[in-house]
Amino acid sequence: MLERLFQLNAHNTNVRTELLAGVTTFLTMAYILFVNPSILGETGMDKGAVFVATCLAAAFGSAVMGLIANYPIALAPGMGLNAFFTYTVVMGMGHSWQVALGAVFLSACLFFLLSIFKIREWIINSIPLELRSAIAAGIGLFLALIALQNAGIVAANPATMVGLGDLSSPAALLAILGFFLIIGMEALRITGAVLISILVVTGLSIALGVSEFGGVVSMPPSLAPTFMQLDIAGALDVGLISVIFAFLFVDLFDNSGTLIAVAKKAGLMRKDGHLPKMGRALIADSTAALGGSLLGTSTTTSYIESAAGVSAGGRTGLTAIVVAVLFLFALFFAPLAGSVPAFATAPALLFVAVLMASGMAEIEWSDITVAAPVVVTALAMPLTYSIATGIAFGFITWVAAKTLAGRFRELNGMLVALAIFCVIKLALF
């Protein structure tokens, strides 16, 4: 049955290798079980329900990817997208988390339609690679700011807006230790470095009496507080159009980049650069995002950590199925997730920020019409506390720079239309 479903022999793999790859991928991305409830919980959402939604969304998304596309790619609520959900849409713009879930649902519907009608390639090709890299880097800097705040390393300052926090506090010291642990273990290629760091910092925090221990294993909490609680009608408000498109663009860029990177590492990409079953993979991803919004979590997307499983030999969807099963098993560890303090997940956020900022290395810094929009995009996100605003600033600056430099021919209709839309949005809403 497994051979018929996943074509193991054709991909030069076996059940044992796929199982090992699945476990490896799960360990590298399991930190989301602790980080996602911590971030979304700040909106007022029930953390226990968010934990269950995270497990189910990851299990559902990974299973769909494995069965439909037969790719060794796992899915879970995306980093950056959960921060945008909480700190921009809910806390920044003042919308309820129910409306934010409605925006996630609508963006997933658009993503599904783009995948069905194969418009995705046209949109992605219309956005310059440098601008896409800048968006990823900006999200990374946004996550870094949140991480430093949660750790107490950066604090509000009335004179300078931000300043250095109390580095002698247990939270700050433990967060710094956690980050150093991740860096050290990653350098030594230890699987599950982020997860290990979170557990070590949490254990030390409990031992020192800084945080409380809520247990390890129990029956899963109720999903009722978040299940089907999305407000689609509220998300259709004209002021949320940019939010829906921000969810869509970030998921679109992040997903395509992840699929291409992991598939290339797994040897699934053809010599001409074409990725077979890309359409199926994107349909799986958009379906997972739809399901996640109904369950009660921010956008579900493909995880670059899947590359760890590929390195361990994963080549088929069986790897993703194993990840799905492990996320279902994780449902019974809700008390442990509830015991993790925010400063224990802060190092994970900061580490993800490091990975996302690495895209800046691809920028052609000698071209000012490229460098300026890139820097504006990346800095605007943390400094305005809004991913949507950073994307808008990036589109506007790119079009303005190219036009004023007499290089209007380097632009395309899609990019110009997006820049005009962003100007109208910033001016009116």
Q: How confident is the model at residue 114 (pLDDT cuts 50, 70, 90)?
A: confident
* pLDDT at 173 exceeding the cut of 90: yes
pLDDT at res. 400: 95
Q: What is the pLDDT of residues 64-103, one digit of tens each?
A: 999 998 999 999 998 888 988 999 899 988 999 999 999 9
The sign of the CA dihedral 24, 25, 26, 28 is positive
pLDDT at res. 271: 64
* 26-46 b/e (C-beta count within 10 Å ≥ 16 → b): bbbbbbbbbbbbbbbbbbebb
Cα 173 to chain center, whole Å? 26
pLDDT at res. 429: 60
CB atoms closer than 10 angstroms to residue 138: 31
Q: How far apart are CA 298 and CA 101, in angstroms?
A: 7
Q: What is the pLDDT of residues 205-215, one digit of tens each?
A: 999 999 989 88
Q: What is the pLDDT of residues 302-324, one digit of tens each?
A: 888 888 888 888 888 899 999 99
pLDDT at res. 104: 94
Rounded to an integer, the average pLDDT of 99-126 is: 85
Q: Over pLDDT 90: what percentage of the chain?
A: 48
Q: Over pLDDT 70: what percentage of the chain?
A: 97
Q: What is the pLDDT of residues 119-170, one digit of tens each?
A: 776 777 788 888 888 888 888 898 899 889 989 999 988 888 889 999 999 9
pLDDT at res. 328: 96
Q: How far apart are CA 295 and CA 105, in angstroms?
A: 11
Smallest CA-to-CA distance from 263 within 316, 324, 301 is with: 316
Rounded to 10 degrees, the C-alpha dihedral 233/236/237/243 comes to 130
Q: How far apart are CA 289 and CA 184, in angstroms?
A: 34
pLDDT at res. 305: 84
Q: What is the pLDDT of residues 399-414, one digit of tens each?
A: 999 999 999 999 988 8
Per-residue DSSP letter, 1: -
Q: How far apart are CA 364 and CA 366, in angstroms?
A: 6
Q: What is the pLDDT of residues 243-283, one digit of tens each?
A: 888 888 888 777 777 777 787 777 776 665 566 777 788 88
Q: What is the pTM of this model?
A: 0.84
Q: List the single range of 118-122, 219-223, 238-242 with lowest mean pLDDT.
A: 118-122
Rounded to an integer, the average pLDDT of 231-238 is: 86
* pLDDT at 56 exceeding the cut of 60: yes
The sign of the CA dihedral 91, 221, 331, 176 is positive
**Mean pLDDT across the chain:** 88
Q: List the single range of 33-47, 232-246, 340-354 with lowest mean pLDDT.
A: 232-246
pLDDT at res. 272: 58
Question: Which positions ≥6 away from 12 have C-beta within 8 Å?
Answer: 315
pLDDT at res. 115: 81
Q: How confident is the model at residue 224 (pLDDT cuts 50, 70, 90)?
A: very high
* pLDDT at 42 exceeding the cut of 80: yes
Smallest CA-to-CA distance from 338 within 168, 255, 220, 204 is with: 220
Contact yes or no for 202/211 (Cβ under 8 A): yes
pLDDT at res. 273: 57
